[in-house]
Structure 1
Amino acid sequence: MGTPLFKDAEVERLRLAGAAAAGTLAWVAQRLAPGISTEDINQWVREDTARRGGIPSQLGYHGFPATVCTSRNHVVCHGVPSPNERLAPGDIINVDVTTNLNGYHGDTSATFCIGEVSADARHVVDVARRCRDIGISVVRHGAKLGDIGAAIQELAEKEGCSIVREFGGHGIGRTMHGPPHVAHFGKKGTGITLRSGMVITIEPMVNLGRPDIRILEDEWTVVTVDGSLSAQFEHTVLVTREGCEILTPNPGLPLSAGPTLAAAGAHP
């Protein structure tokens, strides 16, 4: 199956789905604080997605049991919300929201700092956000898919971090996951040629330590083998002739929560 190209009315529907996902992420971000459970986040995403007329794309996807992935500290991705897991000062947590609105999907995530966090935590969060942004910056009609991964890998390694290789971005549109696979490492000038109308996610998973991962017994939760912190940021992106359009924009998204709440840009 090839990578679909979207235009006109389809692009507008993708914009609406992306805006819905971004809006839910921002609404949840404002409520994050020490003491809340990851199950609270799950319920908030369910409620806000419904208010926006959407359906949580993740719920039931290959059996996933929740409306959102909540990946805390050394959890790389696919963390399953639980009433027994509560946020504490010093935590970082990625909240990954995907919304199906009228048959089109928008996918976005951000990693948030809960209260005062360590310098290492702030570093990996900052590097992950910048890796997403530099990956987006090279997207344009005629570029190679490998250009994205090469730019991300170079920045992460320059900052003393590593990139998870087993998971990457993906095509998105009328399905949540489709071709192409978007690796966040690689060699410039390799891979398929990006074409105007393609829609992909860019969502590098950046570890403070080694890139090695393992999957827990729940068959979903992915963690770092060495227990190091991991952070991730994600946007859904439309390839255009001039460059690209971010379909999940969220300028001013607060990336800190709790007593030290402060606005930080999450838009390149």
Structure 2
Amino acid sequence: MSITSEAELQGMKKVSEVVAVTLREMRNYAKPGISTKEVDEFGGAILEAFGAKSAPKLTYGFPGWTCISVNNEIAHGIPTADRILQEGDLVNIDVSAELDGFWSDNGGSFVLGNDLHHHQRLVDTSRAILHKALNQIRGGVMIAEIGKLIETEASKAGYRVIRNLAGHGVGRSLHEPPGDILNCYDRYNKHRFRKNSVVAIETFIATDSTFADEASDGWTLVGNKGGFVAQHEHTIVITGGQPVILTAANEI
């Protein structure tokens, strides 16, 4: 969507704060020994308390309030009672919601407890690349150039990117144009970011894989060459300068 009024901006700020706070509190709640379903239900209760609806449930009938992916899972992991979190797990929580007709999306990977399996550098790299990309996004910038930046920075750090997952427009629904904000350079993509538009920018930084494949459950995405992936995502409003990061509350 494009922001055309103060009421629209306030609507986007409100739903974005809800998803950001929910993500932050879920991350704080997660601990070794509890199931991903418990973490998901905790997040769902927060959304309900705000009067918000789970975007993946509402849009796709997803079997969870949020997506929780663990270790080798990239995204869209289904929260279940038998998936018990362990010390050192690489966990990704993706929270998106609708409130009063506005939609926002954010997510982040983190290491649960002690970094037993040496995932922290991957997580830190993903977060740093996202913020470097955000600092370059403004009206008129080519979308492909941001993909090139993400891919280049990942390569410098010794990592790869998932090439078939992308950021997207958001605001009046969960996924809107542009749907092609890739983590890699696409020379055929001539589109540019538009001032006042709302987009969700996300990184998918990988140790081994370059493409995401759908698992047998029909939802969970895993890497085509195994390994691990860290993802971080913010919903932003594009301006003529630095973007407005609507979901910044999840950084606290």
Shared fold, TM over 0.5: yes
Shift of 1:243: 2.6
Please give the root-mean-square deviation of Cα atoms over the aligned residues, in Å: 1.7
Please tell me the residue identity of whatever aligns with 1:45.
Answer: G
Shift of 1:160: 0.9
Could you tell me which of 70, 89, 92 is aligned with 1:91? Answer: 89
Q: Which residue of 1 aligns with 2:200?
A: 201
Cα pair 1:71 1:94 within 8 Å, conserved: yes
Going from structure 1 to structure 2, the CA distance change for 1:119 and 1:66 (only over 3 Å counts) comes to closer
Question: Residue by residue, what CA displacement relative to the aligned partner does 1:125-180 show, whole Å, maximum 9, x if unpaired?
Answer: 11111121122111111211112111111111111111111111110001011110
Shift of 1:119: 6.1
Cα pair 1:147 1:189 within 8 Å, conserved: no
- Unmatched segments (≥5 aa) in structure 2: none
Going from structure 1 to structure 2, the CA distance change for 1:56 and 1:227 (only over 3 Å counts) comes to same
State the aligned residue count.
Answer: 250
Shift of 1:32: 1.1
Cα pair 1:54 1:99 within 8 Å, conserved: yes
- Structure with bigger helix share is 2
Please tell me the residue identity of whatever aligns with 2:86.
Answer: A
Please tell me the residue identity of whatever aligns with 1:240.
Answer: T
Shift of 1:22: 0.4
Going from structure 1 to structure 2, the CA distance change for 1:102 and 1:34 (only over 3 Å counts) comes to same
Q: Which residue of 2 aligns with 1:160?
A: 158
Q: Which residue of 1 aligns with 2:211?
A: 212
Shift of 1:212: 3.3
Please tell me the residue identity of whatever aligns with 2:238.
Answer: V
What secondary structure sits across from 2:218 in the alignment?
coil
Shift of 1:21: 0.5
Q: Which residue of 2 aligns with 1:259?
A: none
Question: Residue by residue, what CA displacement relative to the aligned partner does 1:92-138 show, whole Å, maximum 9, x if unpaired?
Answer: 10000012111101111111211212464112111111121122111
User: Normalising to structure 1: TM-score of the pair?
Assistant: 0.88
User: Normalising to structure 2: TM-score of the pair?
Assistant: 0.94
Q: Which residue of 2 aligns with 1:100?
A: 98
Could you tell me which of 3, 6, 27 is aligned with 1:6? Answer: 3
Runs (4+) off by over 3 Å: 187-190
Please tell me the residue identity of whatever aligns with 2:3.
Answer: F
Summarize the alignment of residues 10-159 of structure 1 with structure 2, pairs less than 5 Å apart. 10-118=8-116, 120-159=118-157
Cα pair 2:163 2:210 within 8 Å, conserved: yes
